[in-house]
Chains A and B, each alone.
Chain A
């Protein structure tokens, strides 16, 4: 009898759980708080989570429905990623794959499963072509944008004609991603590009790569690093006395924790970033009230001021804006995956809107359309001053027109390789 009552209670719980789930939007995140990249993942995940926690606590979710922001742990492993994707895709309105490997595997599935992929600032650059990649979004900037802005920035210091730029990258799809564009830029600007790959098992010990850098004496080192590779490169650069002000990374190589290891010695190191941790933005106080003081956050004060945590906030803000936009358009709070896709295709994050959200200066304004799934927001160069990252440049904008053809060609190539591949015929290619 006892067993029976227990079972009945469990059943009742399960039913009520289902009922509660029906009144919320299910937004899964394929997180990686475990595994080799956990140190980079945790602050990003915490930022993403806290933003939705805050919306749920302050406004009761979005448009009156709670957001069920659930993490599914992948440990950055592709196998677990696919497991998580399969587990969540039936209920989910969006999927956030979080690793280039998982993105590569999920991307071909999206046309079949009809669920948007949100990959803020990572993934396959040609995803910008929304006509080909109807379901994939890498707002507010892709890797090619990053590569172009870095070259712009270096060129603004002094002309790049005849200069030598070393490209230190993870020997992995992620690190190879910007190569086609960098080669094109090298040809156009007359600098010499020197790709230096770092294998996944050499991340912690890059002495041979830095020996090569010492021998070649490049004018700049551009880094596409991730996880342990960033810390490895930065400590190695300090050890070999490479001038830090000639060293610049992509936005995943600009984490506070990596630079705290070297502290003052790392001063002058730069990274491009589409987000900026504006400590004076009103949102910080809101977070404190609704998430920190109520003990909901998994983060800590030091992490919360960092670039990655604040970037996580921006990511969730973008998703929240898309949800709100879709709700307004379709007149229902309970939107589905297709409606959310519309929301992601019609983002319009203006200065005024950022002001309303209390997030001014944390991300450049941008907008998306059915043809433009990246938004090409641009970004700032941030510089490590020995204790934290400061903004070191005006807002840079990627010169997308210069490589639009390259994007379209890569996208067409992908569609051809994955034929039959449905493209969005109703969408006029515009800027």
Chain B
């Protein structure tokens, strides 16, 4: 049907290992990219930019960072939000000396460093115990954001405010920046990072991570250096999460207080990664669409069909629907939305045969 693979012959090993063994996948990705780069920005309203497109991209990026660490390298982390915070605060200090977009990209370096430091215990402990160690990072860093006044330039309120900054004369951060500009900056960064992650996880490094995840003793026996494998996972994951944190505050929120980076945000990103599918890149986007985008869409439904429901009631119903959907998806496919899509795709490829 849609996924007819008839006539697509592979005559070389290279073709067999290509990113898109089936031509339709490349076509589908092309369509999605055209939508993301051209059609959405042309048609989106301010509201769509600010509540759907921008947050979904940023959350996807944060979940992707976590997925590298938890999904690919198998190191459970509950400190994602704190590492986002490191990125945001580093960016706040860096914009004083460099271009904002460079500052955002450089802020990840700081969170990578902190990530490696908090990743060191992973050499000794695994699973839940490691999760507790990253939880310590979560509490300590948020406490640090509150107490270290230099981080927020001694503002009386203790919050950071994003100033208006420009790159080559175009405002990219602050209230003067247009949503369109910010969207393109985010989309550019997210696109590059996604390409990077896809290729990393398919390459040597990705395979060492997966080996570490699946059976670390066996991995060590075949000559994989576990220390390097785990610490690179922590570094790269924290870098991506840090950049996501900088984007989160500078390209979307416009202000942040320390408790923004508290544990609920960590959980939200973990849920996105789990619902989307651990150990997949596509899953982060699907998860973010479900967890971040769906509530916003649900909120607009009663208004569209002309129902007069109190906003608070809508909010309660919304929480129930999203919760039910999460349970529903996890029941029909415990490995997440990405796996669900993979199954649908398999079915389509061999359609009309049952298996």
Interface set of A (CB-CB < 8 Å, partner B): 10, 13-14, 17, 31, 33-34, 70-73, 75, 78-80, 82-83, 86-87, 101, 104-105, 108-109, 111-112, 124, 171-173, 176-177, 179-180, 199-201, 410, 414, 417-420
Contacts and interface: CB of A to CB of B under 8 A. Distances in A.
B311 A173 contact: no
B303 to A, nearest CB: 9
Contacts of B174: 108, 418
Contacts of B316: 34
Contacts of B162: 108
Interface string B33-76: 00000000000001100110001000000000000000000000
B46 A86 contact: yes
A173 B312 contact: no
B310 interface: yes
Interface stretch (B127-135, B255-263, B274-282): B255-263
A173 B312 CA distance: 26
Given A17-B306, A71-B310, A418-B174, A105 B50 contact: no
Given A109-B254, A200-B262, A418 B164 contact: yes
Q: Which 3 A-B residue pairings sit nearest by Cβ, starting from the closest?
A: A33-B312, A173-B157, A73-B311
A78 B161 CA distance: 14
Interface of B: 46-47, 50-51, 55, 146, 156-159, 161-164, 174-176, 253-255, 257, 259-260, 262, 296, 299-300, 305-306, 310-312, 314-316, 319
A10 B304 CA distance: 10
B159 A173 contact: yes
Given A34-B312, A101-B257, A105-B253, A176 B164 contact: no
Given A17-B306, A105-B253, A87 B315 contact: no
Contact of A86 (B51, B146, B254, B305): B51
Given A112-B176, A173-B159, A420-B164, 19 more contacts: A13-B306, A33-B311, A34-B316, A72-B311, A73-B311, A75-B315, A83-B50, A87-B47, A87-B51, A104-B157, A104-B159, A105-B253, A108-B175, A172-B259, A176-B156, A177-B157, A179-B156, A201-B262, A420-B176
A245 B254 CA distance: 42
A176 to B, nearest CB: 5
Contact of B156 (A17, A111, A180): A180
A33 B316 CA distance: 10
A105 B312 contact: no
A215 B62 CA distance: 45
A73 B315 contact: yes
A111 B174 CA distance: 12
Given A10-B305, A86-B50, A104 B161 contact: yes
A194 B46 CA distance: 45
Contact of A73 (B176, B260, B312): B312
Contacts of A34: 312, 315-316, 319
A418 B161 contact: yes
Contacts of A200: 259, 262
A281 to B, nearest CB: 28
Nearest to A113: B175
A143 to B, nearest CB: 11
A417 B175 CA distance: 12
Given A101-B257, A104-B255, A171 B146 contact: yes
Contacts of B47: 86-87
Contacts of B296: 83
Contacts of B305: 10
9 contacts: A17-B306, A86-B51, A101-B260, A104-B257, A108-B255, A124-B157, A171-B146, A173-B158, A410-B156
Contacts of A124: 157
A111 B315 contact: no
B255 A419 contact: no
A87 B301 CA distance: 13
Contacts of B158: 171-173, 176
Contact of B175 (A83, A109, A201, A414): A109
Nearest to A32: B312
Contacts of A420: 164, 176
A70 B299 CA distance: 14
Contacts of B259: 172, 200
B309 to A, nearest CB: 11
Given A87-B51, A420-B164, A73 B314 contact: yes
B253 A82 contact: yes
Contacts of A111: 175
A418 B161 CA distance: 8
Given A31-B311, A82-B50, A418 B157 contact: no
A397 B171 CA distance: 43
A171 B258 CA distance: 10
A70 B302 CA distance: 14
Contacts of A17: 306
A104 B158 CA distance: 12
Contacts of A83: 50-51, 296, 299
A419 B163 contact: yes
A154 B51 CA distance: 47
A86 B51 CA distance: 8
Nearest to A102: B255
A381 to B, nearest CB: 26
Nearest to A14: B306
Contacts of A177: 156-157
A82 B311 contact: no
A83 B54 CA distance: 12
Nearest to A17: B306
Contact of B163 (A13, A80, A104, A418): A418
Given A31-B311, A83-B299, A108-B161, A78 B253 contact: yes
Contact of B157 (A71, A72, A87, A176): A176
A10 B305 CA distance: 7
